């Protein structure tokens, strides 16, 4: 993963990615302003732009909220090319993977526009303010919450009466599942891998039990917590199961979880954000540790179009 040091882009991050026992640690996001009704960043349609990549599960969650809330016209996007290069996330000069907002050739140039002496990792998603020409946030969880709570839509993903429960699910899902698959895939010791895989599948077992009795994670409506879980589920069978050795079971081996995932997929706008072939190409890209030959497997084929038995509905503001 690329990094900028005092405004200079470096293809390899010299900082530690693992602890002494070989466990993977995710770096913290560093740009974390907020959209509020009293400014300086106000929730105005057409003011903001998202820099994303189809591969990235953290960017995927922001695209899901944008789609479910119907904010496609209010928030524009630039999509980086599916595979990173020695310049990190990059864009084409034209076409689907061109940056039409800043005409950037790489995401690190967006960070340089924010602060010429920026120091930190170069990640997506990035929420860009067109008015002030600066980054609002590069923390996906914050972007999800901002979109879910500050823009005036007729749908609700984070109702005030359920915030505490949503946050409890978010914390668990991030630690054990969203980041849990990376803790397994990037582990450098058997002990670290065993701990991560155990945490992951114990949590999947708990989710299976919960979703056997409930249509969604919180209450009986779609919330932010569901959209933060979904990106990992879409990548599980085609990528994490094989490339990250998360192979005690597949998503499709969990009847309730698999039904729940397909019900989410069937929501308006969601299917357009799911790109299994891109996930496979990304997670099986050449890696000295995980896939030295860079061979992308042909399967598995996952049929997301199979109808779910549950119906997931959107909450409405009261």
Supply the DSSP symbol for 240.
I
| E-state strands within the chain | 3-5, 8-10, 48-53, 75-80, 120-121, 126-129, 134-137
Which residues, in sequence order, are bridge partners of residue 288?
Answer: none
174 closest CA partner among 141, 149, 143: 141
Question: How far, in Å, CA of 103 to CA of 98, rounded?
Answer: 7
Active-site position among 56, 242, 246, 279: 56
Q: What are the CA-CA distances from residue 247 to residues 193, 200, 276, 292 (Å)?
A: 12, 11, 18, 20
Active-site position among 24, 182, 279, 283: 182
Question: How far, in Å, CA of 193 to CA of 196, rounded?
Answer: 5
The answer to whether 56 is a known catalytic residue is yes
Q: In what order do the strands lie in the sheet with 3-5?
A: 8-10, 3-5, 120-121
281 closest CA partner among 124, 55, 11, 53: 55
Question: How far, in Å, CA of 256 to CA of 241, rounded?
Answer: 18
The answer to whether 182 is a known catalytic residue is yes
Torsion 109-114-115-119 (CA) sign: negative
Q: What are the CA-CA distances from residue 49 to residues 54, 58, 74, 111, 227 (Å)?
A: 16, 16, 9, 14, 20
**Which sequence positions are flagged as catalytic?**
56, 182
């Amino acid at each position: 993963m690329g990094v900028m040091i005092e405004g200079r882009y470096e293809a390899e991050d010299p900082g530690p990615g693992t602890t002494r026992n070989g466990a993977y640690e995710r770096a913290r996001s560093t740009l974390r302003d907020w959209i509020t009704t009293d400014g300086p960043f106000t929730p105005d349609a057409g003011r903001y732009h998202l820099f994303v990549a189809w591969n990235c599960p953290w960017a995927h969650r922001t695209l899901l909220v944008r789609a479910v809330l119907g904010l496609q016209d209010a928030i524009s996007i630039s999509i980086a090319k599916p595979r990173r290069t020695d310049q990190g996330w990059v864009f084409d000069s034209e076409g689907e993977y061109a940056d039409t907002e800043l005409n950037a050739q790489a995401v690190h140039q967006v960070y340089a526009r924010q602060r010429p002496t920026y120091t930190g990792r170069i990640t997506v998603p990035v929420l860009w303010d067109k008015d002030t020409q600066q980054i609002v946030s590069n923390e996906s969880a914050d972007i999800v919450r901002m979109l879910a709570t500050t823009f005036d839509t007729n749908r609700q993903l984070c109702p005030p009466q359920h915030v505490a429960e949503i946050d409890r699910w978010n914390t668990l899902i991030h630690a054990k599942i969203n980041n849990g698959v990376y803790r397994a895939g990037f582990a450098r010791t058997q002990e670290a891998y065993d701990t991560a895989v155990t945490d992951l599948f114990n949590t999947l077992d708990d989710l299976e039990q919960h979703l056997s009795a409930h249509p969604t994670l919180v209450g009986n409506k779609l919330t932010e917590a569901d959209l933060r879980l979904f990106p990992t589920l879409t990548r599980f069978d085609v990528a994490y199961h094989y490339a990250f050795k998360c192979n005690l079971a597949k998503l499709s081996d969990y009847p309730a979880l698999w039904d729940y995932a397909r019900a989410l997929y069937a929501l308006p706008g969601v299917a357009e954000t799911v790109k299994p072939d891109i996930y496979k190409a990304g997670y099986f890209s050449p890696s000295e540790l995980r896939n030295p030959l860079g061979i992308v497997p042909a399967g598995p084929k996952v049929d997301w179009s199979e109808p779910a038995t549950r119906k997931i509905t959107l909450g409405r503001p009261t």
